[in-house]
Amino acid sequence: MEKPDKDPTIDDYIALYRAMDEDNILLVDVRTIEEYEAGHIPDGINFPLDKVEGDAIKVLPDKLRKIYLYCRSGNRSGKAADILSALGYQNVTNIGGIINYTGRKVSKKILIIGGAAGGATAAARLRRLNEFAEIIIIEKSGYVSYANCGLPYYIGGKIKDKKSLTLQTPESFKRRFNVEVRVNQEVLSIDRAQKKLTVKRLAEEKGSGETAFTPETYTETYDNLIIATGAYPNIPAIPGIDLAGIFSLRNMEDTFAMDEYIAQRKPLTALIAGAGATGLELAENLTLKGIKVTVLQGAGQILTYFDKDMAAVLHSHLKEKGVDIKLNTRLAAFEECGGEGQGSRLCAITQEGETYPCDMAVMALGVTPQSDLALAAGLEVGVKGAIVTDEHMRTSDEAIYAVGDVVQIKEFVTKQYANIALAGPANKQARVAADNIFAIPSSYKGSQSTSIIKVFDLTAATTGLNFTQAKAASYDCDYAVITSSSHASYYPGAESMTVKAVFERESGKILGAQIIGKEGVDKRIDIIATAIRASMSAYDLTELDLAYAPPYSSAKDPVNMIGYVMENILTGKVSQIHWEDLPDSAEGGVILDVRTPGEYEKGHIEGAINIPLDNLREVLDIKKELIPEGKTLYVHCQSGMRSYIACRILSQRGFDCVNIAGGYGFYAYSKHSR
């Protein structure tokens, strides 16, 4: 018998099935009922794999009949074939996976409201999963798949080509993914009962696939809907907020309007309301354009997702770069006022009665989930009005999914619900939603809010809970602080970084971390973020086998080092206290500064005794009277390492010794940022 040129494909088997009488061949889909209902080859039956062994005789009574088995990829149908063969079925064939069947047509129509990170990612994933579904993105702005995290850098001129901000256009999305994109169109309402949207065209520009006959307002039906509407910028309802020269920065149109204003008006001064990530990124980029920036922050610190002591490091750096930051200061109104520069100047008036003249202003006061459509449609909402979803990103309506800044999700560490407006989680959620629309088991387990920001010469990153958040969540916790080098100190270019890690006292489990430095911050925060995701403890960090060569790290990486410090605290090798607790605790004790005399003279705690670490043993042996006996010694150096060594020396000689976490460096930053 002549061997065929190639093995038969699922198309070949289905062609044979079509050519023969159904009585001769039975087509069996062994996927789950949800997958089967999402799309299957016409005719045949659904017989899920988990039921094959127990129900085979009942469902397939004729063991001599020819049976064609298929699933999604061919793996489950292969297992089913083995089970049936073992049960005595004579003519069983695994014909493979439906994903390889070119004749497959799944009649699903999926609409996506919003075409930024979540919406565009969902559309691309949906198309990769199914070539035949009808997928339409409806986007209110004039752009799709744009990099809104890069917008401040376009304002500053770091990103020069506006086209580079858009990863896809409606036309390229159509060519690459066969997805229809309708920009400048607003969804007015969701009719859940009829499964349809009411849509209004906002401009004449037409998205890919539209015709000139599209009316101004029309309806569009769906089988599944994904809401990816993102979030609104928070704009205070205060007098003068609509004056020219006041901006927000949330989309491409906002960016180009601000850029054009700067080019035409050439402002000398700018006021930014809000000291979150967007506010500080804009502060840097406007400063680099030669504009004097003042930042008003309602809270008592910048970047409130960092602990105050870590935020103080960035606050000090911003001051060095000429950015004026006013804490505990809230906007009350804007007025037009005359002054320098070209055109009218604005005057920002605060609730505290102060006036700040400026040539332009930016509202960077955070965001609120844009869930109006969902709320009007009766979908369940939760924290901050965000849409409630399950782990599959399904809303309270089983046909509707939601992803991105508009949804409520679980915070990974506490398992409490939160609204986390970050691009990384939005993209992951979009993939999960797309999978579940086509019955692929997939779940989103939550976000630990891992983020990173560039602030002039420094990089700051965080993951999990900060100490303030951990205490508020009722964890019995502590934190460790180190200052370490980005790579081997003897190799040129090493930069210091400050690492603060929060841990549970009893278990040593890592709850969160914050890192600030000039180099190597990103990879260290990513390692700790991975450790948190894996529920690792401080002890585990000490054992991580990380890459080392002098240009890249130290033999004891900063991640290992923070692990060692936490382990020392957990195992009682050292007691520690934090600066904020020192005034009450140090009464009756002695503050011992073990830095060099030169460091001491540059700045020290009032009343501190200075005994350099390298002289400590000599003092203990010869001049012991310099160290008061019977009193608790609160020991510090610049960063905490030398004071730890001093505490080990002192405690083994009978002294009651407590290490001050973070050292004088932490104290100085906190003091000078107030």
Which residues are annotated as catalytic?
71
Token pair 């752009």 in the structure block, residue = 143
CA distance 52 to 194: 37
3-state secondary structure of 246: strand
Indicate the burial class of 296 (C-beta count within 10 angstroms; 0-12, 13-18, 19 or more): buried
Query: How far apart are the C-alpha atoms of 459 and 451, rounded to whole Å?
Result: 11
Which residues fall within 8 angstroms of residue 668, CB to CB, at 6 or more apart?
603
| Contacts for 489-495: CB closer than 8 Å, 24+ residues apart | 489/554, 490/550, 491/550, 491/551, 493/519, 495/519, 495/520
Q: Give the integer Cα–Cα distance in Å for 273 and 329.
A: 9
Sequence-ordered list of residues with C-beta below 8 angstroms from that of 80, at least 6 positions apart, any chain: 28, 30, 47, 49, 52, 69, 71, 94
Please choose, from the candidates 512, 507, 479, the residue with its C-alpha nearest in 3D space to the C-alpha of residue 412. Answer: 512
The answer to whether the CB of 516 falls within 8 A of the CB of 460 is yes
Token pair belonging to 191: 């009719």
For 459, list phi and psi in degrees, rounded to 5: -120, 135
Q: Which two tokens stand for residue 375?
A: 């709320």
Do residues 283 and 317 lie in contact, with contact meaning Cβ atoms separated by under 8 Å?
no
- Widest Cα–Cα separation across the chain: 105
Number of CB atoms found within 10 A of residue 634's CB = 24
Instruction: Classify residue 306 as left (phi > 0), alpha (psi -120 to 50) or beta.
Output: beta
CB contact at 8 A, 221 and 196: yes
d(CA 395, CA 401): 5
How many residues are given for the chain?
Answer: 674
Are residues 317 and 458 in contact, defined by beta-carbon separation less than 8 angstroms?
yes
- Specify the amino acid at residue 125: R
Among 179, 171, 161, 165, residue whose Cα is nearest residue 120: 179
Instruction: Check if the beta carbon of residue 555 is closer than 8 Å to that of residue 564.
Output: no
Distance CA 28, CA 37 (A): 14
Q: Which of 386, 118, 349 shows the shortest CA–CA distance to 236?
A: 349
Could you tell me if 569 and 504 are in contact, meaning their C-beta atoms sit under 8 angstroms apart? no
Q: In Å, how far from its chain's centre is CA 257?
A: 27
Beta bridge partners of 496: 485
- Who contacts 572 (Cβ-Cβ below 8 Å, separation ≥6)? none
Helix (H) or strand (E) holding 173: helix 170-177
User: What is the dihedral angle through the alpha carbons of 493, 498, 504, 506, rounded to the nearest 10 degrees?
Assistant: 70
Q: What Rg value do the Cα atoms of the chain yield, rounded?
A: 31
Find tokens 């000689």 and name the residue: 653
Is there a contact between 406 and 386 (Cβ–Cβ < 8 Å)?
yes
In degrees rounded to 5, what are phi and psi of residue 36? -60, -45
